Amino acid sequence: MYKVKAKKRFGQHFLTDENIARKTAESVTLEGYKNVLEIGPGMGMLTKYLIEKPINLKVVELDRDSVEYLQAHFLKLSTSIFSGDFLKEDLKTYFGDEKFAIVGNFPYNISSQILFKALEYRDQVPEIGGMFQKELAERIASPHGNKTYGVISVLLQAFYDIEYLFTVEPNVFNPPPKVKSAVIRLRRNNKKELGCDEKLFIRTVKQAFSTRRKTLRNCLKSMQPNETVLASDYMSKRAEQLSVEDFITLTNMME
């Protein structure tokens, strides 16, 4: 068994547990699409399980040494290995206008950026699955009313249903990181449009969470809310108490 480099937030750690790798590769259901893009495959710990599936798999890797390794060891993927920065790419480069899932053992320092990039292409990305730092995974999956519920929870849950699949202990890496990991799945919901101004929605959500301990009456002051908003029950609540639908309603009131 070869070791695989996993570039995590706290340095380089090597995923050594084959069962965890297999289960992470299975975090995407492959239902309703045939294209899958793996981000940051490293030396192929997940790739070797994905390549066995009846899918059109492509991988994108920033590290040149890893790209060379993949080209040498995954000959079936020779024309589907891309060297580049996912965050800077036009994602239509990989599958045109076709739908595709995203999977990976995501680098912790840019994992939230990866999700927001995918969100830009949400109508093409029916599913996202993979490993994240546990703290972030919990925030993404958190329902409203929890202290872990925040901006990223609202913005992703507006368009995706989130499943927290399982926790990954540090001892499956060598050396073990100081934090736990988790595998989650995001599946596109049926919402095509929010039903409000999306830019205003994002601004409202971010401003609402700008000072978590304060009520929305204080947090939204800088946005100069109108009388309808000021008179609403939302103003006496904190941001974490509002559901996605509440934020949509609030945004419409702000217009």
DSSP letter string, the chain: ---EEEEETTEEEEE--HHHHHHHHTTS---S--EEEEE--TTTTTHHHHTTSSSEEEEEE--HHHHHHHHHH-GGGTTSEEES-GGGS-THHHHTTS-EEEEEE--TTTHHHHHHHHHHTTTT--EEEEEEEHHHHHHHHPPTTSTT--HHHHHHHTTEEEEEEEEE-GGGEESPPSS-EEEEEEEE-S-SS-SS-HHHHHHHHHHHTSSTTS-HHHHTGGG---HHHHTSGGGGS-GGG--HHHHHHHHHHH-
Domain ranges of the chain: 4-188, 198-254
Which comes out higher in pLDDT, residue 200 or 175?
200
Confidence of residue 13 (pLDDT cuts 50, 70, 90): confident
pLDDT over 80 (residue 244): yes
Give the residue-averaged pLDDT of 73-91: 94
**pTM of the predicted model as reported, rounded to 2 decimal places:** 0.92
pLDDT digits (tens, 9 = 90+) for 112-134: 999 999 999 999 999 999 999 99
- Classify 4-188 by CATH class: alpha beta
Write down the pLDDT at residue 30. Answer: 95
Mean of pLDDT values over 10-22: 82
Q: Which pLDDT belongs to residue 4?
A: 38
- Whether 198-254 and 4-188 are alike in CATH topology: the answer is no
pLDDT of residue 8 exceeding 70: no
- Quote the pLDDT of residue 5: 40
pLDDT at residue 11 tops 90: no
- Give the per-residue pLDDT at 12: 67
Please state which of the four CATH numbers 1.10.8.100, 1.10.275.10, 3.40.50.12280, 3.30.230.10 is assigned to the domain occupying 198-254: 1.10.8.100
**pLDDT confidence of residue 174:** 85
> Mean pLDDT for the chain?
93
pLDDT value at 49 more than 60 = yes
Determine the average pLDDT of the residues in 150-162. Answer: 98
Flag the least confident range among 83-87, 151-155, 165-169, 174-178: 174-178
What are the pLDDT digits (tens) for 196-239? 999 999 999 999 999 989 999 999 999 999 999 999 999 999 99
pLDDT class for 3, splitting at 50, 70, 90? very low
